[in-house]
Amino acid sequence: MYDGPRLIAMDEPSGNPSFFKKWVMRQYWRMQQSQAVVSLLLWGTTITLLVWPYLRWRFEPGCGDGMLCFDSELFGIPLTYVGLVTIFMTVMFGVLLVGFLYDQVFSLWTEWRNVDTERNPFATYALSPVWLVLYALQAETLKRQLSDDEEEMKEQMDWYLKWCKSYTQGEMFARAVQQWDKALGKTPTFWFTDDDAMQKARELKFDDEQN
């Protein structure tokens, strides 16, 4: 018997203790957060070590008396280390320069965001289950508040409801219904769809999930 809302926490799937899985994913998340900094340092170090063999002879004894020979010390520190640090900082400056050009000169991030939005169906024409219910609710509320002589607006609200109904046939809605059934009891048949669509949503099997 259903006795009211019963939310299932995301970290506690029904019947499956997930402390270990959550701990593992937390560590994975932490590693991901440092990935940008670590990869930048590894990249700089790798390029420095790749370039160093071509410049090392300038920091070795016997280089000669040329202007670009650094076989002495600076404040007691061999200039070899100064050379390595200089190469590394040059690489970092190059990366920063590319970032500055990317941001301030060419503004490529705005075009990247445009393309990213264009390729995201849920930012253009598709509806996620949550927005699906919200849009349908707004359309239905406005439709009921319209007077009889506002037929054009009512037709638009009917179009909105038809749009919402079309997305009750998809996998995203099916996933939402099945999770709502688990968390809150049987999901009611929404006003913008029908019993057949709800039943199909409950019966849909997903290839990426195993029972």
Point out the domain boundary residue: 92, 118, 144. 118
Distance in angstroms (rounded) separating the CA atoms of residues 101 and 166: 45
Whether residue 130 is found in the same domain as residue 190: yes
In a domain, 100, yes or no: yes
Length of the chain as a residue count: 211
Q: Are residues 195 and 108 in the same domain?
A: no
pLDDT at 82: 86
Planar angle of CA 44, 50, 55, nearest 5 degrees: 110
Q: Is residue 3 in some structural domain? A: no
| pLDDT per residue as tens digits for the range 79-115 | 888 889 999 999 999 999 999 999 999 998 899 999 9
Residues 161 and 136: beta-carbon distance below 8 Å: yes
Q: Are residues 55 and 101 in the same domain?
A: yes
- In a domain? residue 4: no
Q: Domain tally for the chain?
A: 2
In a domain, 33, yes or no: yes
The low-confidence residues of the chain, meaning pLDDT below 70, are 1-17, 64-67, 71, 209-211
Q: What is the pLDDT of residue 20?
A: 87
Confirm whether 134 is domain-assigned.
Answer: yes
Domain boundary among 67, 94, 118: 118
Question: Is residue 102 domain-shared with residue 23, that is, in the same domain?
Answer: yes
> In which domain, by residue range, is 139 found?
122-203
Confidence (pLDDT) at 7: 42
* Sequence letter at residue 104: Q
State the amino acid at position 23 in one-letter form: W
- Give the pLDDT score at 155: 95
Report yes or no on 1 lying in a domain: no
Tens of pLDDT, residues 189-205: 999 999 999 999 999 99
pTM of the full structure? 0.65
Q: Spell out the residues 6+ positions from residue 56 whose beta carbon is closer than 8 angstroms to its own.
A: 80, 83
pLDDT on residue 12: 46
